[in-house]
Amino acid sequence: NVNGWSKRRNEIATIIAREKPDIVCLQETKLDKTNLAYTPTCYKVALVSRNKFGGGVCTMVRDDWVFTITRTTSKNTAEILTNTIDKLMVTNVYFPPRSSDSPTAEVREDVMEILDMSSEKHIITGDWNAHGIATRRTKESDDRDDWTRAVCTWC
Q: Could you tell me which of 99, 79, 102, 103 has the C-alpha nearest to residue 91?
A: 79
Structure-model confidence comparison of residues 110 and 8, the more confident one: 8
Please, what is the Cα angle at 106 between 109 and 71, to 5 degrees?
Answer: 60
Computed over every residue of the chain, the mean pLDDT equals 79
Comparing 21-35, 96-110, 112-126, 132-146, the range with the smallest average pLDDT is 132-146
What pLDDT shows up at residue 30? 87
Contact 93, 114 (CB under 8 A): yes
Amino acid symbol at 49:
S
Query: Could you give the domains of the chain?
Result: 6-154 (3.60.10.10)
Q: Could you tell me which of 49, 41, 45 has the C-alpha nearest to residue 20?
A: 41
pLDDT range class, residue 21, cuts 50, 70, 90: very high
- Quote the CA–CA distance of 89 and 83 in Å, as a whole number: 6
Cα R_g (the chain), whole angstroms: 16
CA distances to 1, 20, 36, 38, 62 from 41, in Å: 21, 11, 15, 9, 9
Model confidence pLDDT, tens digit, residues 52-95: 777 889 999 999 999 999 988 888 778 899 999 998 999 999 98
Above 90 in pLDDT, residue 139? no
Above 60 in pLDDT, residue 120? yes
Structure-model confidence comparison of residues 120 and 26, the more confident one: 26
Burial of residue 8 (CB within 10 Å: 0-12, 13-18, 19+) is: middle
* Helix/strand/coil percent split, the chain, to 5: 30, 30, 40
Model confidence pLDDT, tens digit, residues 141-155: 555 555 555 555 544
